[in-house]
Amino acid sequence: MPSSRDVVFVDGVRTPFGRSGPKGLYAETRADDLVVRVIRELIRRNPDLPPERVDEVAIAATTQIGDQGLTIGRAAAVLAGLPKSVPGYAIDRMCAGAMTAVTTVAGGIAFGAYDVAIAGGVEHMGRHPMGEGVDPNPRFLSEKLVDPSALVMGMTAENLHDRYPTISKERADAYAVLSQEKAAKAYADGKIQPDLVPTAIRTAEKGWGLAVEDEAPRPGTTMEGLSGLKTPFRPHGNVTAGNSSGINDGATGCIVAAREVAEELGLTAKMRLVSYAFAGVDPEVMGAGPIPSTERALRLANLDISDIGLFEINEAFAVQVLAFLDHFGITDDDPRVNPYGGAIAYGHPLASSGVRLMTQLARQFGERPEVRYGITTMCVGMGMGGTVIWENLT
């Protein structure tokens, strides 16, 4: 059996994220074409990587039907023009799909089964709304295995407010405003654009166009503006469209490799995978998932939360981030947390988001060589959390 090898993150890109719906950026663009664009950009940006050296293409999608079906990792690899010798597969862990694509191929690399892999995710929520075609087993409710709210993500966020009574709607709204402000600054400072791949779009009404920036951010968001929004998941509740991520379309991808192979090929390794962990929680409070997954990842890495210099937390809901911060004794406005803003601004095309977190962390590592360790973490539908700890190699 081969000994374990270091796994490194080489490069990550994504399409701009669009708003889902008939007027969104990608309303008439196929999901698999978004993945193709990402794969081609990764190959273009890394000319020292011979395409035939890619040993696997793992692409996540939550709703694996239509243009997100047909074993999308393999389908997108062929469509992107990779050699037919390059295999691929589809993977699903709801919101943590792309994260799981990375950790799964990383295990193969560490074991020696792969040298280089492409991993990512896509979600076209306009074409494939969350839960499309799903047929939940009636035993979930008849045997009271989960609370009826467990299958409605917004309700699980309201449940989290119940569990953490110190997290008020005002705190959640303030966090959302901060996320929008940080995203606007990151755009103004040119931090986001280098890892976006311009993507051709076409509509029958307008013809051809080019998606070059995220559609979802709302710069200028204010507490006053958020205070009047409806709480659709509970009368007089806490969760609104303003303090949650949106319904979005987009794709992400990255190159991961054995450290020694990256060096052999002349690829620049940006960060090393230190440990990863997934954990389950009660599905009705799925937003608490990153707490046990992070505790487990820290334990596996023999690290403490105080060792972590940067956090990329997926902002499915503001309350879920705040629950994580409260648990670990981190303030709401800690500059280590989501320095470029998060999903409340950029959007959350379910299975793609994990690699967005990694790509942003890698860029932040480049700016902050004094920071040694960073975390990417997210909550996952059906009551899970996922965490990956990375070491800065810049």
The catalytic residue positions are 95, 348, 379
Distance of alpha carbon 42 from alpha carbon 201, whole angstroms: 19
Neighbour count for residue 64 (Cβ, 10 Å): 18
Q: Which residues contact 358 (CB under 8 A, 6 or more apart)?
A: 9, 12, 99, 102, 254, 312, 376, 388, 390
In sign, the C-alpha dihedral spanning 158, 162, 164, 166 is positive
Neighbour count for residue 301 (Cβ, 10 Å): 18
Q: How far is CA 125 from CA 18, 62, 79, 136, 202, in A?
A: 10, 10, 21, 19, 18
Coil, strand, or helix at residue 103? helix
**Which burial class, exposed, middle or buried, applies to 298 when counting CB atoms under 10 A from its CB (0-12, 13-18, 19+)?**
buried
105 with 58: CB under 8 angstroms? yes
Q: Which two tokens stand for residue 102?
A: 């990375």
Neighbour count for residue 242 (Cβ, 10 Å): 23
355 with 97: CB under 8 angstroms? no
Main-chain dihedrals φ then ψ at residue 141, nearest 5 degrees: -95, -40
